[in-house]
Structure 1
């Protein structure tokens, strides 16, 4: 007989910049499958400054990428016990948000960005919580198909939504993109598409372009 238990859990996240009175923009960025936050956050070092804070949570499950030793990566979830994993990481991400962003206690511009597997992760945070944000960026990933359609449509209404990917991305097939378009229609969202010459990766030039964009009023 399967049973459940709740307990306190300690998790880490990375910061670029220092939260303070000068901060007026925050990017919450979620890495992809097999990555670690301390390396992923470096992709955004060119846009971090005294006014823009970068926050990179880390997937709650770490594992050896090959065999039983060597490089370690993290993942947000697997298909096993997925509902529980989703609940746990939403609670974790919400806790990071409350610890870093809410104490600033001032109007902020907030970008949620998810890369690859992190795109589904950040999409759930955006649509399944009431946490304020202004811009949602799905990078080399798509909306997960199980988002609550009515709640998600309401949460994404009037939000800036970007879909970013490399033209040579080996993981975004025509079928995958068709799935993305179908889910977006169901959610009544039309993401602005930004492409670049590259593969399944974060492109620093595009990061800078997005950072330079004015937020939607």
Structure 2
């Protein structure tokens, strides 16, 4: 995910956010960005990104999660910062799996325009509920990747996985990051 288009200085994987509403260096966001790029159609105009494919998924998932663990260890996040993990689109599955597997000590977990993996269980996220971390799922009402039936499944997963303590945020829009919503989430 590249949120730099929103005029917010967020680096590829992690950052300190500077915004008039935030105290300097008070938030630290890790936003995994898919490393594999590809053209979305034969016009070669629009580029997409991918984390995983059906081939060697288990191995590739393990590699990605180990990479994320190493990234976090190398960042040396200051203790005073609120840690926010934000996944957009396919990054939701990585953010969810990584948080669950590595028991990331975060303050907020944001799933934005993507689906939570089916294999995850309430036990995987129990540690977040004991520390009162904020969990949000943000979905556009015109997102071409989220059908009505999938929306219902995501709502059910959200309720089940987080014991009803997660918040669903709907907005008028598609498969996109809305600047005002993002600012509201991180302030």
> Which TM-score band applies after superposition, normalised by the shorter structure?
0.7 to 0.9
Distance 1:77 1:120 in 2: 10
TM-score (norm 1): 0.69
TM-score (norm 2): 0.78
- Residue aligning to 1:166: 140
- Count matched residues: 172
Of 116-125 and 146-155, the range deviating more from structure 2? 146-155
Q: Which has the larger radius of gyration?
A: 1
Shift of 1:140: 1.0
Is the counterpart of residue 177 in structure 1 residue 151 in structure 2?
yes
User: Is the partner of 1:107 in helix, strand or coil?
Assistant: coil
Gaps of 5+ in 2: 10-16, 19-23
- Residue aligning to 1:42: 4
Distance 1:55 1:184 in 2: 21
Q: What pairs up with 1:78-157 in 2 under 5 angstroms?
A: 78-100=53-75, 102=76, 104-157=77-130
Shift of 1:194: 1.5
User: Is the partner of 2:186 in helix, strand or coil?
Assistant: helix
Gaps of 5+ in 1: 1-30, 32-39, 213-217
Change (3 A) 1:185 1:54: closer
Work out whether residues 162 and 194 of structure 1, in 8 Å CA contact, stay in contact via their aligned partners in 2: yes
